[in-house]
Structure 1
């Protein structure tokens, strides 16, 4: 598109190869030549070398918390960029600050998480107020339903669907050449079911001694992530179960691990807003077992086994059946690849561009 878009990252979102979360990865993957990325100061080269990046340095004004000062600094950067659309990721309060203080500016709020847990969008009146000032895009139907919950049907037309995308490798390792490894990749926290994974592995190790069990991740998306009380309590159980704790790894290493592992597990307790790890695992050719909550069912479809991870005994039973059946793993991996192809980067870009155009020509202003 011939006009510029200012793409605003959350204040704590990393955007370097060594420290980046799911939002930063998607912004980098979908960045177009006319996008100007606005985000926090970087301690290493940007994920998109050579791409225009405006580092935000919050000042002392206006008085208030860090979020408010970050929003004010973003507003100053936007004034210098003069974009046709400001695309704010996952921060309703930042989007509202820009819309209120820059009259006539088209604003598109892209939601990656449950809006009912966000400051500025946690009640129906607040969400309706947002729609009076901007358009909203959601990464899944589940997130969209959560935003529209309690709002009149007339609001539905201002809330679009903009799914995440994945780069589908042209070739993947065949199942019969993959490591006999069950892999967990993600934040090592209770919400992600890290302890359920360890408990399931403890049961599996007895009957499947030739298999490996591995966890990639830490509490945060950075190498210096703190050792939390949850992780301190999990480590002895992981050692006893024979689970390798690899810690934080750059995204490329995570994808490589998925490309070698026979099985990837996404045992989340909380409703995943989208389920990017599951999508990446399917694209990498692994056999996937995932929790049937949040946005995961609409992403996984028939490309993986959807099974509640709690209690861990049930998860272990499902995994054990898959570990013992190579043909089932091969079939599941093929279905996963086909499912992942529906979430290509080209499709994700087309959806986002369509919503940007709709925002530009919308009724606000």
Structure 2
């Protein structure tokens, strides 16, 4: 097509497309749109939001009382037809993507930030075939997520790509000196490793009076028992471990830029790991589990530990707290890695090129 394609990014799952409560998915979408060569012909279809991100056109998805996100997909299809959208990039919801592809007249690209669950049994495989058949393409946040999808959905014929999150490194500061502080950011879920991280941090702090720690948590309503354990341990630290919940991303970013050490200790494979990316970009020396996509984010630029071993983690954390030169080396290497591999301009260009493939302007095939 001679003109720029009309593109809609579609956010369905309890999305908050604004600076107050944005998750990694919404931040990724914002950045891909802002740095796209197609920014002027792109909108974001999302649930109502009180203060949307600046610089991005949005279209509100009407709420429905029954049917959930698949029912919302029918309203999205009507919106896409009305706006003359050429391709819809549907975030993280394969059934809705299939419904939109079947009913909107637009081409649909599924943009997955998760591990898509393998179909089970003959009926599951048949259903999965029907869902992926109408897709124009599938993009994943890591090579790990892409490889798992290829294994679990071998019948997919649409082109596929791994396109990570990116950051505008001009907006991220790695200024020194850092505060003598440790930072862990993420959803307050047991499999994110916060309980072990908290125990290790409390142990390491006992003999290092100049240090403190901070845990910035989201989704605190999901596992009340996990949150209670974390708060109990923090309270026993005598104020040296601070917990904050559901902060705007601007405050999370400021915390990363001050912290000397970061933790990314998910106990199960992570499709990507944006918190690790932000830690490296801010010049924090990172300790991570290296599981799943975290290995692609960090490479050799983090200390890798077993996230289930609080004692081993405490030892690794203490050793890093006591080694300023080692922290400085990790910080420099991590920052350089993000600049080389995750610059948002290059990442957005990769997504634009893949969109071209999916609308028929680029090279076909996967």
Q: Is the 8 A contact 2:21 2:246 kept in 1?
A: no
Q: Is the 1:110–1:136 Cα contact (8 Å) retained in structure 2? A: yes
Q: Indicate if the aligned counterparts of 2:215 and 2:242 stay in contact, CA closer than 8 A.
A: yes
How far off its partner does 1:124 sit? 5.3
1:159 aligns with 2:157: no
Report the alpha carbon displacement of residue 196 of structure 1 after superposing the two structures with TM.
1.0
**CA shift for structure 1 position 128:** 4.1
Q: Is contact 1:8–1:39 with CA below 8 Å preserved after alignment?
A: yes
Contact 1:183 1:215 in 2 (8 A): yes
Structure 2 unmatched ranges of 5 or more: 34-38
The answer as to 2:127 corresponding to 1:139 is no
Partner of 1:116: helix, strand, or coil?
coil
Match for residue 236 of structure 2? 240
Match of 2:306 in 1: 308
CA deviation after TM superposition for structure 1 residue 66, in Å: 1.7
2:200 is aligned to 200
Aligned position for 1:22: 24
Give the deviation of 1:233 after TM superposition. 2.8
Aligned partner of 2:324 in structure 1 is: 326
Do the aligned residues in 1 keep the contact of 2:271 with 2:292 (CA within 8 Å)? Answer: yes
C-alpha displacement of 1:248? 2.2
Residue equivalent to 1:106 = 107
Contact in 2 for aligned 1:201/1:316 (Cα 8 Å): yes
Structure-1 residue corresponding to 2:36: none
- CA separation of 1:304 and 1:126: change in aligned 2, threshold 3 A: farther
Structure 1 residue runs of 5 or longer lacking an equivalent are: none
Tell me, in whole angstroms, the C-alpha distance in 2 between the residues paired with 1:117 and 1:254.
34
Distance 1:191 1:148 in 2: 25
The alpha-carbon deviation at position 314 of structure 1 amounts to: 0.8
CA distance in structure 2 between the aligned counterparts of 1:113 and 1:171, rounded to whole angstroms: 26
Return the alpha-carbon distance in structure 2 between the equivalents of residues 52 and 318 of structure 1. Answer: 46
TM-score, length of structure 1 as denominator length = 0.89
CA distance in 2 between counterparts of 1:296 and 1:118 reads 25
Instruction: Report the aligned-residue RMSD.
Output: 2.4
1:56 matches 2:61: yes
**Is 1:46 the counterpart of 2:52 in the alignment?**
yes
Contact 2:7/2:85, CA 8 A, preserved across alignment: yes
How far apart are residue 249 of structure 1 and its match? 1.2
Cα distance change, pair 265–59 in 1 and its aligned pair in 2 (3 A): closer
Structure 2-normalised TM-score?
A: 0.89
